[in-house]
Structures are given as C-alpha cells and as structure tokens.
Structure 1
Amino acid sequence: MTTMRTDGLDFEGHKVGAVYRTLARTVSETDIVSFVNLCGFVEPLFIDMEYVKRESVFKRRAAPGALTFSLSEGLIMQTGLIHGTGMAYLGGELRIVAPVLEGDTIRVEIEVVDKRETKKPDRGIVTYRHRVLNQRDEVVLEARVQRMIRRAEG
C-alpha cells in the first residue's frame, strides 16, 4: 500500500515483514544538473552532453547513483513513515543495479526486515530494505539501511 502519514511509526509500530510504497517521481534534467553542480560531480559523463552522446552507453543524461539514493530518501520522507520518530540514519549497504536516466520515474518499496531494542529505553534500531524501481518496474537501486527510531512513551 502507498502510505502518506502525518505521524510516524514508533519502534513498536514497525512490524517485521511490513511493506510500504512511496509515490513516484520523474527525474528531470534540472534535477540531475542541479545535483551535479551542487556536489561538484565534474565528470564528463554528467556535464558534457557531447561526450555523453559520443562515449556513454546510455546516450542520454544519467543521474549519479548518489542522486538516485537521495531522491529515494526524499520519497521515503514524504510518506511520513518516520515523521517525528526517526532519530538518526545509522548507515547501511547500497547497490546501484541499473541507471536512472533523465525522464525516468522512480518509486520506492520499503520493507521492515529487522528491529532490535537498545540499551536506551527511548529508542530502538530498525533495519529496512529499500528497492527503488523505475517506470518499467525494474530495480535500479537496492539498499539495506538502519535507522534509530523513537519508542512509544510510557
């Protein structure tokens, strides 16, 4: 189910096996160019369209994998899934599976795969599996991430 929440799930509300889906977002040329300039990705693959047309296997403007991950995180935040309950992003593993090109539309499937209590009674650690899919339902990015999530009060 696509989820848009105004209050995030606390640690107890995260059920292992639960799957959430984001809305979709089309990646524009402006998105790619802005990100590349902001982050200093001065690689010809990202800034020189003549090079891209001549040398790239894609022949179109491609999004850096870091942009795809960032956009996927934004889509996840827009669900409200951890609104007010997410305390920290603790890291994880990331795998770029396929390119995201200008004009592609991406969405994210989020699965709760594990959770554990911590020594501190106000928080727990939740592990998620993120699958970023394009408009053809092809996986373009996979991630396994851990977040510190606030526990319910009382």
Structure 2
Amino acid sequence: MTINAEPRGRYFEDFEIGQEVVTPARTITSTDIVNFACLTGDFNEVHTNFEYCKTTPFGEPIAHGPLVYGIMGGLQYASGINDGTLLGLLGIDEWRMLGPVKHGDTIRVAQRVVEKKETSKPDRGVITFLRQCVKQDGSVVQEMKATLMYKRRPAA
C-alpha cells in the first residue's frame, strides 16, 4: 500500500511578500555552548572562560554566532514550513551580530518574506526572508537575509 501524505511544509505558492512566520522558542544552555566549542574546535575564551569573561562587557561566556545561526535553522524546521517542501538554502546575506546570547537566554526566529521569484523550472521557486533572532526581552540579536528554494505545488 502506498501512502502519499501531503507535506507539512509550505510550497512556493503559499508565501506572500510581507508574510511573517514566528518559530517556537528554545533556551540556550551552557551545554550548548560547550558542545559547540568541542564540535568546532572554537575554544575562544569569550565562549569558554568564565574568569576571562568577567573582564569583558558580557560578564560571562556568550554563545558563538554560528551556534545561534544553527539553532535558528532548527527552529525554522520546528515551525514546519520547510518539512517536505524545502529544496535548499541558496544564500545568507547581510548576516549581523547585534547582541550577545548567553546561557539561559530564550530565542525564537521572526522572519518576513521580502522577495519571491519564480525560476525557469516550473517545479520550484525562490523565497527570501528577512530573518531575525529575537531574545525573550524582544531584542534582536542576529539578523540576515536568507534565500531558500521551495517546491511548487504539484498540479492537481
């Protein structure tokens, strides 16, 4: 028996300019920061040395920028919009670090569709989001433009 379940994700046609999507939230832990340092080999003291960090404006270790970016990708997946319809990430532009993320901060992604382009292939299209990582206090700590390719809705 074949089951053809409809993907949970959004197709190209489901996105409109100006549309906003907000993901679920996730709390960053010291374990996240240490595990990322171990995975990447980036043991910069601003991420791993509590005593050193007391001498910085942050006062304590902060999360690596790419760690936060990676968690943002997971949060976007958790939102469901990519599930079964995303074909690929085409680019990240204008990626900015606007504030620190520390152990205990809870982040979510707020993104707005800023561009929508058909491609020469009828089965796909390109969506560009202005993507912001927002902490529990409402501050934006990272911002970027993310361009992704999505499937188009199959003809009925």
Which TM-score applies when normalising by structure 2? Answer: 0.91
Matched, 1:129 2:130: yes
Aligned to 1:40: 41
Matched, 1:64 2:53: no
Find the residue that maps to 2:72 and give its secondary structure: helix
Matched, 1:109 2:133: no
Query: How large is the Cα RMSD of the aligned pairs?
Result: 1.1
Q: Aligned-pair distance for 1:47?
A: 2.1
Matched, 1:7 2:19: no
Find the residue that maps to 2:37 and give its secondary structure: helix
In 2: Cα distance, 1:52 partner to 1:97 partner: 18
- For residues 83-135 of structure 1, the C-alpha deviation after alignment (integer angstroms, 9 at most, x for no partner) is 11100001122111111011111111111111101111111110011111111
Q: Which amino acid aligns with 1:96?
A: M
Matched, 1:52 2:53: yes
* Aligned 8 A contact 2:109 2:133 in 1: yes
In 1: Cα distance, 2:138 partner to 2:104 partner: 15
In 1: Cα distance, 2:48 partner to 2:118 partner: 46
In 1: Cα distance, 2:82 partner to 2:27 partner: 23
Find the residue that maps to 1:126 and give its secondary structure: strand
Aligned to 2:91: 91
In 2: Cα distance, 1:27 partner to 1:82 partner: 23
In 2: Cα distance, 1:46 partner to 1:20 partner: 30
In 2: Cα distance, 1:40 partner to 1:78 partner: 27
In 1: Cα distance, 2:60 partner to 2:48 partner: 11
Matched, 1:119 2:128: no
Aligned to 1:3: none
Displaced runs of 4 or more, over 3 A: none
